[in-house]
A and B are shown apart, each in its own frame.
Chain A
């Protein structure tokens, strides 16, 4: 095997003070599957984006077949036969499969009219060549996530790409869909393609790759042959210390029912499809209930209905006996704390100050935050409250007057948790609260959640991360196509069973 790509001393800085890549050098051989692993923020994606021409490097070189290259945009990278499949799938949902695949290299006839028959034929040939099992005329919006991923790969293969970069391709797949992807990737490798594969799932990396490069905090730790390592060794290289992911939820007996959802249903006004179907469940005091499911199976809609952003077609929602089904968001907030997966849109206002972020909702519910009959804000009280959260939740910040976006993701999440937990609500709704956080922050958040359960609160945790659910929940509900298909005691089930239910629903289990 020869050295296909050589990366020399790459440096990338994100002002004001993040060094995303610090003098990284690495080789990729032709015809190998090479895994890049590291924690969030280790620089894996940045490295690949620079290689793909999406971001410029601040210094360093990239050589392909011994020649220095510098791609100004992905188009140039593709011309050099390098293609990348992103974490968030980059397709046009409104277009069909063939339209997406040929975009940018459409076969045309007179007046630049697209030769549809020819395009369709070309795409079909590629599909057959790689045995992808796709319908060229299907609209991308109607496809599953796994199928969309295939379309992206197909799109690159259509451009005769020989080096394929995949950024966490398994993150959006169910456990059952992963082996198929791996088979396809192996087949591509055996066909002579080179595959660069970003992941933080160690088992996957060991199963699939030929060699592994470990990154930590922007620096390369090592490049090693897969056959020489174990999961434990990799984990230590990644984190720089030993990690244990054991179950930490203690079995304190649950108290009275706090949250009571009955028969919540929601129909899409556009497609008329049922988005939520007869959702009924309870969460008790001191209990942590998890909701497992592949993304897009009704989690978002459930959150919207529970928070009052959207009215359900039927069903009721009660907390401590109060019926909140028709209540305003403000009324609900007296009973509910809410941590969203989407910090930038739902959880915080990134361009407002930290102080202004922490007083949200409190300014409505707690009269200590206002003066003159609720007309004027008490900024002195707001400041002392913000300082208190900073201390209690150990937030790393310069000044509470700084904009929220100046904080790291983990610190933003601490501020949000601080705000929501200070509300003293009996019920806490957590929607993927650890998404995008590094290991240390995840650890911190998990312990906060356990702490909440000790405070007698009822907690609902929506998560796509099964390990997380198994670590801290008492019960797991599985959401599949808007229906709860299983209600399992965490100690009596296992990851495989839940994974299967997530994918197939109850009928096939």
Chain B
């Protein structure tokens, strides 16, 4: 029983950053942006979250700084891709490198360390204990004690689903992706909608980064996003952006990750760590086989 609870909790904490950044990616996906910069946004978010938490002695400040760090990346994306019309893919790759370079550079400049910065002064984001629910057998141990950001991710999923499919902004957002000229001639600037989608994406990726460095663990290490941005991009593509689908896919990837930890006893850790990536390939396989049957040439 404890094994299963552990597995589920492992799944939830692995899924949370994926879910948050994939939700961000889903908004830019609907807005018609080929956004591969989630990786960089998340990394920057993780670094600045540690920075804020350490110097301002507060996890709230940490999260705010994490979001601001990711927003910085979004602003650069907007500048190059929307204002200067640089190819989105080039912008994304450049930005990811920029984020990697910047965080490593600042890690040395500010904390004078190479590799990783860990310090008792970093205040981590608290877990939410629900005393009344804790006593429920099985479920109580899952519902209670989750990190605050886990709950935020859950709320974000519901809000995203509502915003995309029910609100004025959602109608315009999807219109930007389907046919931006149509949106422009309807009197709504598609550039503006795309910029807003990038900003929201950055907020979510900032949260994801904060979870990595202040929730999952309490430290910052070089390149700590470790390809999660790419996996979340895959998740977005697999479900064509649908927020509820993203939640499901993130949980599956999280499960693969959590399972890896349990298999470490019998398998070298390198192989168990491959599980999320293999899971992505398998998911892509089923997605592609489905689309191959309905594939129309051209």
Task: Provide the residues of chain B in CB contact with A75, threshold 8 Å.
Answer: 184-189
CB distance from B253 to the nearest CB of A (A): 28
Q: Is the CB of B175 within 8 A of A90?
A: no
A73 to B183, CA, bound (A): 11
| A114 with B185, Cβ < 8 A, contacts A90-B179, A269-B294, A270-B294 known | no
Least CB distance, A180 to chain B, in whole angstroms: 24
B169 proximity list for chain A (CB < 8 A): 112
Q: A74-B184, A104-B172, A111-B167 are in contact. Are A309 and B189 (CB under 8 A)?
A: no
B interface, over-half SS: helix
A73 touches B189 (CB 8 A): yes
Q: Which residue of B lies closest to A104 (CB)?
A: B186
Q: Chain A: which residue is nearest B169 at the CB level?
A: A112
What residues of B have a CB within 8 angstroms of the CB of A284 in the complex? none
Would you call the interface of chain A mostly helix, strand, loop, or mixed? loop
Contacts A73-B189, A111-B167 given; does A95 touch B184 at CB 8 Å: no
CA distance A31 to B182 in the complex (A): 27
Q: Report B104 CB to chain A, min CB distance, Å.
A: 38
Contact with B along A303-338 (1 / 0, CB 8 A): 010000110000000000000000000000000000
- A106 pairs with B171, CB closer than 8 A: yes
Interface residues of B in 242-298 (CB under 8 A from A): 293-298
Can you list 18 pairs linking A and B with CB atoms under 8 Å apart? A54-B185, A73-B189, A74-B185, A84-B185, A86-B185, A90-B185, A91-B179, A92-B175, A92-B179, A92-B182, A94-B178, A95-B171, A95-B178, A103-B175, A108-B167, A268-B296, A269-B294, A309-B298
Given the interface contacts A112-B168, A270-B296, does A105 sit within 8 Å of B187 by beta carbon? yes
Asked if A74 and B187 sit within 8 Å, CB to CB, the answer is: yes
Cβ of B279 to closest chain A Cβ, rounded Å: 28
In the bound complex, how far is the Cα of B167 from the Cα of A108, in angstroms? 8
A residues in contact with B183, CB < 8 Å: 103-104
Q: Which residue of B lies closest to A108 (CB)?
A: B168
> Is there contact, CB below 8 Å, between A104 and B167?
no
A476 to B298, CA, bound (A): 28
Nearest-neighbor residue (CB-CB) of B185 within chain A: A74
In the bound complex, how far is the Cα of B188 from the Cα of A73, in angstroms?
10
* B182 surroundings in chain A (CB, below 8 A): 90-92, 103
Q: Give the chain A neighbours of B167 by CB distance below 8 A.
A: 108, 111-114
Contact with B along A94-125 (1 / 0, CB 8 A): 11000100011110100111100000000000
Closest Cβ–Cβ distance, residue B197 to chain A (whole Å): 15
**B166 near A: Cβ within 8 Å?**
yes
Q: Is residue A390 within 8 Å, beta carbon to beta carbon, of the partner chain?
A: no
Interface size class on chain B is 20 to 34
Cβ–Cβ contact B186 & A155, under 8 A: yes
Roughly how many angstroms separate A54 CA and B298 CA in the complex, as a whole number?
30
Residues in chain A near residue B135, CB distance under 8 A: none
Known A-B contacts A108-B168, A114-B171; the reply to A103 vs B186 at CB < 8 A is: yes
Given A103-B172, A112-B169, A309–B185 Cβ distance below 8 Å? no
Q: How far is the CA of A111 from the CA of B158 in the complex (A)?
A: 14
Any B CB within 8 A of the CB of A176: no
Q: CA separation between A309 and B297, bound complex, in Å?
A: 7
Question: Least Cβ distance of A69 to chain B in Å?
Answer: 16
Which single residue of chain A is at the shortest CB-CB distance from B188? Answer: A104
Please tell me if A93 contacts chain B, counting CB pairs below 8 Å: yes
Q: Is the CB of B185 within 8 A of A93?
A: no
List residues of chain A with CB within 8 A of the CB of B168.
106, 108, 112-114
Q: CB-CB < 8 A to A73: which residues of B? A: 184, 189
Q: Are A269 and B188 in contact (CB under 8 A)?
A: no
B295 — which chain A residues lie within 8 A by C-beta? 269
Q: Is A243 an interface residue (CB 8 A)?
A: no
Contacts of A268 in B (CB 8 A): 296
Q: How far in angstroms is the closest Cβ of chain B from A200?
A: 23
Query: Out of B166, B178, B189, B293, which one reaches A92, CB within 8 Å?
Result: B178
Q: Is A79 on the interface with B (CB-CB < 8 A)?
A: yes
Q: Measured between alpha carbons, how far is A86 from B169 in the docked complex, in Å? A: 25
| B170 vs chain A, min Cβ distance (A) | 8
Chain B residue with Cβ nearest A155: B186
CB contacts (< 8 Å) of B175 on chain A: these are 92, 95, 103
Chain B's nearest CB lies how many Å from the CB of A131?
A: 24
Give the nearest-CB partner of A311 in chain B: B297
In this assembly, does A78 line the interface, its C-beta being within 8 Å of a C-beta of chain B?
A: yes
Contact flags B134-164 to A (C-beta < 8 A → 1, else 0)? 0000000000000000000000000000100
Given A74-B184, A104-B186, residue A99 in contact with residue B179 (CB < 8 A): no
Shortest A150–chain B CB gap in Å is: 16
Query: Distance in Å from the Cβ of A233 to the closest Cβ of chain B?
Result: 35
A83 to chain B, nearest CB (A): 9
Cα–Cα, bound, A73→B167 (Å): 25
For the A-B complex with A75-B188, A93-B178 known, give 10 more contacts whose Cβ atoms are closer than 8 Å: A75-B185, A75-B186, A75-B189, A79-B187, A91-B182, A103-B183, A103-B188, A111-B162, A111-B167, A309-B298
Q: Which residue of A lies closest to B181 (CB)?
A: A90
- Shortest CB–CB separation between residue A55 and chain B, in angstroms? 13
State A354–B137 Cα separation when bound (angstroms).
Answer: 75
**A94 cross-chain contacts in B, Cβ below 8 A:** 174, 178
Chain B nearest Cβ from A18, distance in angstroms: 22
Nearest-CB distance from A431 to chain B (Å)? 13
